[in-house]
Structures are given as C-alpha cells and as structure tokens.
Amino acid sequence: MQERLQKIIARAGLASRRHAEQLILSGQVRVNGHVITELGSKADPEKDRVEVAGRVVESEERRVYLLVNKPPEVMSTLADPEGRKTLKNLLRGFPTRVYPVGNLEYASTGLVFMTNDGDLAAELLKKWEHLEQIYYVKIKGMLTLADLERVGKEAGIKMQTLRQPGAARGHAANYWYEVTTRDTKLELLRRLLLKENHPIEKVKRIALGPLTIEGIAPGRYSLLQAKEAQTILTMKPAAKNFAPKQNEAKPGSRKRNR
C-alpha cells in the first residue's frame, strides 16, 4: 500500500516527520533510484526501494520513548552550529536514533520527551499548544498572595508557592513557584514578571501532560513503555509530589533508569 514518504521515513525511525520533509525538499530521498523532492510523493514500502541520505529504509525499527532530564546550557536538539552541548551528548552510546518533541530553552532544565515514533511525534506537535505542562519557576524576590493571584489571572495560568529550599535557614530571598500552563503562556508570564520587577531566574519543566521527571537525575534519562508514552495524548496533568532541592545532583553519565 502506498503511503507518503515522510510517514515511511518517520516510521522507520530515520527522522521525525518534520525532518523527513526537509530531507525530501533537499533532494536526499530516492525512490527506486529517482530523487524525490515533492512532499506529496508516495511509495509502497513493501515494493519500492526508498533511500534516505544513502541509507535504505528497511523493516520498521523498534519504537523507543525516552524522558530526558536536561541540565542547563544544553540545546534541546541533536546538533548545534555553534558547537554547544546537545541532547545527543547525553545519549552517547544509545543504540537508536531518537528526536526531541517540542523545545526547552538552552538555559532551562527539566523534561524533554524523545522518540523515533514519527506518528506519535506528529500527533503530539499538533496538540502541543494545548498540552498542560508543569514548571518550577524561580523569580527575583517574592510575590504577595494578591500579586500571585493577579499575575496568574493575567497570564491565564495556575501559579502557587512552593516549599522553599533553605527557607528554614533564612536563605529564601528569591522564591520558587509552581506554574501549571500551556506552552505559549510561559513567555507571557516572563514578560509580566519582568514588568513587576520580579524577572524569572530559573525555569525547570517538571511534567509534560501525565509524564514527569521524578526520579531522573539531571543529565540522565528513563525509558518508557509504549503505553506510557501514549498517555501523553490524554493531556491529563501529572501528580506532583516532589519539589526543588537545595543542591541538585550534577549531570552524570548516561544511565538507564528502567
């Protein structure tokens, strides 16, 4: 049965569907020896020889799903033209090529979802703006209860104070808050807090839908089962029972947690 080339490539785990489209447009895809550059082109994976950047698309590769706890100053990509550290550095030696879904800023830390399942990635990106996410945000200073309620309403988010690390010793001059929001709201919150003279100092993504980084050390990852990964499309918020620590563990070498 004929299918769109980008779907065949993504299902084989050679690239995300979006990246597959770029490969087609750049002339790096051949079908039966002919270069294909039109996105609407189709092929039959059972009968046609499909090549991507010189590599033949064969039988379906095993689907892999990862949750990565990204440390700061790591690009949430697989390559960076400026030579900065990327997610690929954290997965050195991992046998399957996987791709990040969505983005997390260079300076931010926390959860990044990665997979070679092109169909799931495409579906997730369609719903990305509506997917509930949970962040821990550290700001300069602190908000009063009235300010907290007002800022939350203006930004269209749920925001509440966290137990402050070091508070018992009088060290909590700058406060952490838990923010439940959609992806597009975070930048609005950043602008509002800057206007309030409480600029955001740190951002850590704790949860993406029902998936959390609980138990995953910075710089490490955890493998998910397919059923667990599929729950991300239910868009139900994650249970929260952990908080920022005074001294988080430093990023270590790659380790499987499951």
Could you tell me if 113 and 215 lie in one domain?
Answer: yes
Could you tell me if 51 and 68 lie in one domain?
Answer: no
pLDDT at position 249 is 37
Final residue in a domain of this structure, among 22, 40, 56: 56
Q: Which residues of the chain have pLDDT under 70?
A: 59-61, 166-172, 183, 235-258
Could you tell me if 108 and 23 lie in one domain?
Answer: no
pLDDT at position 243 is 53
Could you tell me if 85 and 47 lie in one domain?
Answer: no
Phi-psi region of 227 (alpha: psi -120 to 50; beta: other; left: phi over 0): alpha
Could you tell me if 31 and 66 lie in one domain?
Answer: no
Could you tell me if 39 and 126 lie in one domain?
Answer: no
Could you tell me if 31 and 71 lie in one domain?
Answer: no
pLDDT at position 60 is 61
Here the CATH number for the domain that contains residue 22 is 3.10.290.10
DSSP state of 76: S
pLDDT at position 257 is 44
With b meaning 16 or more CB within 10 Å and e meaning fewer, what string describes 84-99? eebbbebbeebeeebb
Give the residues across from 223 on adjacent strands: 66
Predicted structure pTM score = 0.70
Final residue in a domain of this structure, among 20, 38, 56: 56
- Does residue 75 contact residue 86 with C-beta atoms inside 8 Å? yes
**Residue 132 — φ and ψ, nearest 5°?**
-70, 135
Here the CATH number for the domain that contains residue 241 is 3.30.2350.10
Could you tell me if 104 and 134 lie in one domain?
Answer: yes
Can you list the alpha helix ranges (DSSP code H) found in 12-144?
17-25, 87-90, 118-126
In residues, how long is the chain? 258
Could you tell me if 19 and 122 lie in one domain?
Answer: no
Could you tell me if 225 and 193 lie in one domain?
Answer: yes
Domain assignment of residue 35, given as a range: 3-56
Q: Which helix (H) or strand (E) holds 230?
A: helix 226-230
E strands, the chain, are 3-4, 29-31, 34-36, 42-43, 50-52, 55-56, 65-70, 99-101, 109-115, 133-139, 158-161, 176-181, 200-208, 211-212, 221-224
Final residue in a domain of this structure, among 15, 33, 56: 56
Could you tell me if 25 and 116 lie in one domain?
Answer: no
pLDDT at position 172 is 62
Total domains present in the chain? 2
pLDDT at position 258 is 39
Could you tell me if 51 and 149 lie in one domain?
Answer: no
Instruction: Kindly state the tokens that stand for 31.
Output: 């079908």
